[in-house]
Amino acid sequence: MSTATPTAVTTPHPRADRVGRGIMALNAVAALAAFASGLVITAGVTDDRLISEVWRTLAYVVFAGIWTLLAVAPRRHPGLWELLLFHKGAVTVYSFVMWDRLADAPETALVDLTVTVTTLVAYVLCRGWRAWRRVPS
C-alpha cells in the first residue's frame, strides 16, 4: 500500500515549482531580448517585408507575456501551457524540415527547440497539467 498522500501526487515540490517558474521567467526575458532585436531588424527591412517583421516582432511580446503568466501562476491557465508547447513544437519541427531550404531555418530550429524543451521541463516541474483540474466552488 502506498503512503503517498493525494497532495504529494498533485502538488509539485516547492523547489521543483520554483525552478520551473524560474525557467519560464528566463524564457520571458529571452523573448523580450528577441523583441529588442526584432525592433532593430524591423527598422532595416524593405517595405514588402515590413508587416511580416512587425507581426513577428510584436509576437515576442505576446510570448513574453505568456511565459510570464505561467511563471506567476503555472496552474491557473488551462490550455495555455499546451498552446505554447504546440506552437513552439510545431515551429521547431517545421524549421528542422526546412533546414536545407530556408536560410533562417537552422537558427530558428535551434532557438525554438531550446524554448520547447525548457517549457516542457517547466511544465513537468510545475505540474502545468493541473491547471485543468476543477476546483470545488
Domain-by-domain residue ranges, the chain? 14-129
pLDDT at position 137, please?
46
Average pLDDT, integer, range 70-88: 97
pTM for this structure?
0.88
Burial readout 66-81 (b: 16 or more C-beta within 10 A, e: otherwise): bbbbbbeebbebeebb
The secondary structure of residue 45, as a DSSP letter, is: S
Average pLDDT, integer, range 40-55: 96
Report whether pLDDT(85) > 50: yes
pLDDT at position 134, please?
74
Report whether pLDDT(98) > 60: yes
Average pLDDT, integer, range 53-65: 97
